Amino acid sequence: MIPYIESVVLTAGIFALMAQGLNVHWGFTGLLNFGHVAFFAVGAYTMGILNTQFGVGLLPSFLAAMVAATLLGVIVALPAIRLRTDYLAIVTVTIGEIFRLVLKSGPGVTELTRGPRGIRGYSNEFFFLREDIGLGFLDPDQYLLVLVWATVAIVGVLLWLLIKSPWGRVLKGIREDEDAVRALGKNVTAYKMQSFALGAGIAGLAGVFFAMDIGSLAPDTYLPIITFYCWTCLMLGGAASHWGPIVGGLVFWGIFNGTLYIPNEILSGAEAAYLRQIGVGALIMAIMIFRPQGILGSKEEMVLDK
């Protein structure tokens, strides 16, 4: 039971963080982003490459990961925010895929990313550090879990402050009625860029923690399904709610990892894997059909007609 709870809480924390970034995009600004996995990947790879190939220390490579993801957010936003919603959804998915394919086999890039062979050995320093900061009594997973949730808490508080600030109110204004905000003299494009950058940076940090959890970086980890899982966590918990990503992450991974414990006599390994995905799909449909605002979301704050 304890390993189950730990695995759920750890993965849920990582996806809650990632979904907090998506919440900035979708929940608070109404920007449709289906390429979130790209920011997750760029964070992980920036940290991994700097740490293993250039000997950059842990903290600077964490920061660089966030900066790189933020920059990618700006770059993606440039073509993306000119497009209407339906085009944006598809273009962001393709951007995520371009990014994965380049990591895997881009000429020149593979010298850094080692292509499909991937990168290992960046996490030792991170886990050794737990003795130095007085968390030596925790095992590596528990230590990662504590750091992840501390980050979720800090990011949550910062987002709460930001969103209720005048800046955040402009974002919500854009979500409700872009033209009205523009009529008030606000530079909507600039705000959308900032929203994209902020959400991407948060996802980059989530990507670093994810990389620490799985211990190696491989391009094919970063498939569009990761983005869909993240969306499910957000929509399940409730977009535009600060607790939404957290509750959604815990419930989603609680169910998802729970299916790992179905005994083999009832379902064989492959069948259980199929059934898990069918369950995820059915869950996504059920939320959207029966409670489109999610567990904690409010109908008033739900993004309509986008």
Partner 1 sequence: MAEALQLIANGVVIGSVVAVAAVGLTLVFGILSLINFAHGDYLTLGAFVAVVGTGLGLPLIVAAVPAILFGAAFAGGLEKVLWGPLRKRGASTVNLLIVSIGLALVLRYTIFWIFGADVERYGPVSRRIDFGPFALTPQEIIIVVGSAAALVGVALLLQKTRIGKAMRALSDNRDLAEASGINVDRITMVTWLIAGALTAYGGIMLGLQGRVYGNMGWFLLLLIFAGVILGGIGSAYGAMIGSLLIGVTQELSTHSLIGLPSDLKMGVAFLVLIVVLLFRPQGIMGKKQAL
Size of the site for partner 1 (CB under 8 A): 45
Q: Is there binding between residue 108 and partner 1 (CB under 8 A)?
A: no
- Kindly identify the residues of this chain, within the stretch 232-261, that bind partner 1 according to CB under 8 A: 235
Nearest in space to 80 (alpha carbons), one of 47, 35, 114, 46: 35
Task: Please state the φ and ψ torsions of residue 55, each to the nearest 5 degrees.
Answer: 65, 25
Q: Where are the alpha helices (DSSP H) in the chain?
A: 2-22, 36-53, 58-80, 85-105, 109-113, 124-132, 140-164, 166-176, 178-183, 188-214, 224-237, 244-258, 269-290
Would you state the structure tokens that stand for residue 272, as one six-digit string? 């259980």
Query: How many Å apart are CA 237 and CA 253, to the nearest integer?
Result: 12
Contact of 211 with 47, CB cutoff 8 Å: yes
Judged by beta carbon, residue 42 or residue 50, the one nearer partner 1 is 42
Angle 209-77-296 (CA atoms, 0-180°, nearest 5)? Answer: 60
Judged by beta carbon, residue 151 or residue 241, the one nearer partner 1 is 241
CB of 154 to partner 1, least distance (A): 29
The one among 55, 107, 134, 166 contacting partner 1 by CB under 8 A: 107
Query: How many Å apart are CA 14 and CA 182, to the nearest integer?
Result: 35
Judged by beta carbon, residue 261 or residue 274, the one nearer partner 1 is 274
Part in contact with partner 1 (CB under 8 A); list of ranges 131-139, 148-156, 227-235, 247-255: 227-235
The one among 56, 67, 97, 243 contacting partner 1 by CB under 8 A: 97
Query: How many Å apart are CA 303 and CA 306, to the nearest integer?
Result: 7
Q: Is there binding between residue 268 and partner 1 (CB under 8 A)?
A: no
CB of 277 to partner 1, least distance (A): 4
The one among 94, 124, 165, 268 contacting partner 1 by CB under 8 A: 94
CB of 86 to partner 1, least distance (A): 5
Part in contact with partner 1 (CB under 8 A); list of ranges 52-60, 143-151, 204-212, 272-280: 272-280
Q: Where are the alpha helices (DSSP H) in 165-268?
A: 166-176, 178-183, 188-214, 224-237, 244-258
The one among 74, 90, 161, 214 contacting partner 1 by CB under 8 A: 90
CB of 144 to partner 1, least distance (A): 28
Task: Please state the φ and ψ torsions of residue 33, each to the nearest 5 degrees.
Answer: -130, 110
**Beta strand 216-217 pairing with 119-120:** antiparallel
Q: Is there binding between residue 269 and partner 1 (CB under 8 A)?
A: no
**In the complex, which residues of this chain contact partner 1 (CB under 8 A)?**
32, 79, 82-87, 89-91, 93-95, 97-98, 101-102, 104-107, 228, 231, 235, 270-271, 274-275, 277-278, 280-286, 288-289, 292, 303-306
